[in-house]
Chains A and B, each alone.
Chain A
């Protein structure tokens, strides 16, 4: 989230797309309820907000929304594109904000174009774009700044009239997204879309603000990144980024996916969203030049780009300590430079090809998570060994027991290591709003269970011993790794938290701000965005100064509660908050201030800006200090599939793309089967006529709740949600057993027939049904053991396709084609 849970109550309008907060985040949902509770009190004071929920299913969130829109899954770019078009055509955007706080006025390079569903630079044989035209016209010499972090300034036309301005290109790009086109793609009737457009159109006024809330319903598509970006563009046009009650608010997974991401659970980043080096980046200079944002306006601070080297060197010093020296470029060579994509699906793709010897699974079960569980199961059979750390047996630790598996023919050796549940350890959870909140151990570990990090530390110690005794290729990174803990085999999470914060090696003090990190090897930071969370004064994540004394703990009255836990970055509660105030530093809406200039300093939230920088100074920095441009990007060259979001159909879709049928799907999405020389397994609408989407229920957390009897009772067995009309057509009665099949697998589950799901009418008057498939069950767990026959085909991800978006390689879990039949 750019903002945080409590802040949702400040919104006038709440758009929820690709999310189901009442079910997935019931505790956070209290703030949605409070936002609308009493309309007489007004936004921020107890009510009056409207909630618009666009979703393929009428969910427990829809039940409390003011408007529900039945949208076809995976078409939110068309929905947001239509809203962008409406706002542009009717000049409802926040003009001052757009001119001064976005790159609307930047001139785009000659040669950039969009035609027939493709941006300029497409190479069909490599399925990739040459993005060299997706940039700005520049003039003059490169701007001043640290090496690798600057370029020549971009040309601008502040009147926004030049046809090559980002603004004019944006107007042109989205002019195709008429209400009729939106309706033909999404299935939302034109009149309903227009009602939402009118509400949204009001939100460009400075005294109005809208929040957009989303979750993996936007992420899990081959266009995932662009689905989210389309919403962010709308927020920039309306001037809602950086403001209390506004922002782009991702609901993150339980209970610590935000923390996972921050600490580089994803292969392409290092902690703190520093990029993993790539082959060819032979030294720090090459790495920074390829990775750091480039200052492209004289008034851009380019804070991230300017400090990129400081953050990287401080990370290297945290990891390699005394072995990281000026002479060896702080052990930059110790960091792997992967030549191939190493994301989630790629692991199983490699295993399938027999190129993985072993896999360690900690905190997840690959089989259930999928996609394409049957193919994952096959991949696991090709391993020499599989290690699972978990509190309970999982569908991975027991994969050889899956229906259809012949254990006698599987040579994979499986090691099940009992690990503690989070109830059995202390540590931090980082919530969606970036608050790192320390928790205590509730129960001591059960039986022989050990913490995942202790198991990992023990394995590391044994590997290190092997290197020491037997030598080996390139032992240096292993031997140099700092393990500055009381017991290196049992590091305390408190010790790790201190290490993540980092220290000043010349004084021995804990760092208090990442602004003080240096590239000369005198500072450390295990994750620069957490620097400041654990100063010498102690662990700020433990703070709990909340509503017990509101006057004292929330001095601004804006719900920031600065002494409740600690929020990255620098305890800031709303990111980009310089944009909450106008050019002179006055809040756009005095009733809902983020920060404001009082003549000598910025007050309110922790400013996302130098605390004493006078906004009226001609040299004052632009508001978005992390971007090279200094402003929000309506046009971005950092996406691999286009500088503007464009609607592409899911890889399994019921219709051809009404915008450009000859280029229906995302042209650069990664097709694992095809790339590996296997035939693609995408179903066609003649055989699989129904659109399906997958999701979790409020009664479940991941897969572990299959082991909690009281929760099993609430949703005891696998089912699918079937629209009443479709059920009538197919002769399916409520509670009947049904077989749901895709090109990749099948489910045999009960049907929950409901009017909450229904048909959408798409281009050419085509009526399409959507089926809902909750993920949770499998052949392991309390219900499976009670129903061994019924539970054979309960793995929802047996259906989902192994295809990923080009950037994050996120699987298309949320849109695929199936058939359904009673049996």
Chain B
């Protein structure tokens, strides 16, 4: 089955992520990424650290178990997907993609599936996109001398397959499909969780308030900041042709960038050894 030429993406439902990291491994297997040197980080069960040239899926583990002696019933904080957040992060394939805007060689392109793709043979290794990405998704591959990130398995899509991570996900936390279909699934899921009392559950990037909308969007169980994601107030980017918007947008982008950098610094402070200028595999 071939995919139609319309927006394809991920809906990552973190409420049912079990942190198994099958997505990380499937991604590396398919894309032949050897991974960074193994390092114990003592950051919950996350030893991957960040998205970069080697890690195109990264499962975050955020512990917020309250001080108490055990159980509390749904949906109070300790139960039902709120006390130990697990979230498989990935390139968002933004509608307004800053990486794409700053690329001087047009190595970054938008595909027929509305995904953001780096053409390895066109990339000149200038690293503008790495700085521009508000999510810190892109990393530099020292061996190849180019920027790399999730391709949404462009090669698999062309063969009518789904991306490796979605295929491997055992609980269907990572759902793949046409973005318009995924929106409907996500709206239904959010309504279910809200009805069950999960008031903090929210969709991130489902609408256009975050960088014009994300083709890889999320259902989060807490505020975006908890997952080191810029919130709506910070997540905007104007088009190049819109001068007033551009000026304002630069300020916003800077805030977003700073927020992103702070998030990375916080990550380091927490001891996860995040290093957003990627080193190559030294194994």
Contacts and interface: CB of A to CB of B under 8 A. Distances in A.
Interface of A: 22-23, 26-27, 29-30, 33, 37-40, 47, 50, 58, 60-70, 187-189, 192, 195, 697-699, 709-717, 719, 734-735, 750-756, 758-761, 782-783, 786
B26 to A, nearest CB: 10
Contact of A713 (B22, B35, B86): B35
Interface stretch (B75-83, B133-141, B247-255): B75-83
A40 B192 contact: yes
Contacts of A188: 70-71
A365 B267 CA distance: 38
A786 B22 CA distance: 24
Interface in B9-50: 16, 18-22, 24-25, 28-29, 34-36, 38-42, 44-45, 47-48
11 contacts: A26-B170, A40-B195, A64-B81, A67-B74, A68-B70, A187-B69, A192-B71, A698-B20, A714-B48, A716-B47, A719-B42
Contact of A783 (B35, B38, B84): B38
A26 B86 contact: no
B196 interface: yes
B81 A69 contact: no
Nearest to B70: A70
A756 B73 contact: no
Interface of B: 16, 18-22, 24-25, 28-29, 34-36, 38-42, 44-45, 47-48, 63, 65-74, 78-81, 83-84, 86, 170-172, 192, 195-196, 271, 283
The 3 closest A-B pairs by CB, nearest first: A735-B42, A70-B70, A716-B38
B69 A759 contact: yes
Question: For A710, A712, A760, which residue has the most chain B Cβ atoms within 10 angstroms?
Answer: A710
Question: For A33, A195, A760, A761, which residue has the most chain B Cβ atoms within 10 angstroms?
Answer: A33
Nearest to B78: A68
Contact of A756 (B28, B35, B65): B65
B63 A756 contact: yes
A716 B71 contact: no
A568 to B, nearest CB: 25
Contact of B40 (A60, A66, A717, A782): A717
* Interface of chain B: mostly helix, strand, loop or mixed: loop
A782 B35 CA distance: 14
Nearest to B16: A33
Given A30-B170, A66-B73, A709-B35, A750 B42 contact: yes
B71 A735 contact: no
B233 to A, nearest CB: 29
Given A715-B45, A754-B44, A29 B69 contact: no
Contact of A68 (B22, B39, B67, B71): B71
A65 B18 CA distance: 11
B22 to A, nearest CB: 7
A713 B38 contact: yes
Given A710-B35, A734-B42, A26 B18 contact: yes
A29 B47 CA distance: 23
A426 B42 CA distance: 39
Question: For B19, B22, B63, B192, which residue has the most chain A Cβ atoms within 10 angstroms?
Answer: B19
B69 A67 contact: no
A66 B74 contact: yes
A68 B74 CA distance: 10
A714 B40 CA distance: 9
A714 B21 contact: yes
A714 B18 contact: no
Nearest to A760: B69
A64 B42 contact: no
Nearest to A66: B74
Contacts of A27: 170
Contacts of A61: 18
Contact of B25 (A23, A711, A735, A786): A711
A37 B172 CA distance: 11
Contacts of A60: 18-20, 45, 84, 86
Contacts of B22: 26
